[in-house]
């Protein structure tokens, strides 16, 4: 499972686009709470995963967020986008 999480994280870092925890979890066949536990440390590379309401990574300090986190307002909210683009 960690390989798939890394695949999604690397994709988001490449396209520099935020994605909701729910969309990522659903694409990987996990519950959002499971996904958050497996995600690991609060590092800039993981800050692309955000909550649905505010579009913010949960519990991240400003120094833990990726410097380009807000370069676009677009947020991936559908698991279909990830499954299509990553062959999940």
| Per-residue confidence (pLDDT) for residue 15, from 0 to 100 | 96
Angle formed at CA 34 by CA 65 and CA 85, multiple of 5 degrees: 65
Half-sphere exposure of 55 (CA within 13 A, CB side): 11
**Residue 74's pLDDT band (cuts 50, 70, 90):** very high
- The model carries a pTM of 0.93
């Amino acid at each position: 499972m960690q390989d798939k999480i890394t695949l999604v994280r690397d994709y988001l870092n490449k396209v520099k686009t935020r994605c909701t925890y729910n969309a990522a979890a659903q694409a990987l066949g996990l519950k959002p709470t499971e996904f958050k536990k497996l995600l690991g440390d609060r590092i800039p590379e993981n800050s692309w995963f955000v909550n649905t309401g505010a579009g913010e990574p949960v519990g991240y300090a400003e120094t833990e967020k990726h410097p380009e986190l807000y370069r676009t307002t677009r947020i991936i909210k559908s698991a279909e986008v990830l499954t299509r683009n990553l062959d999940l």
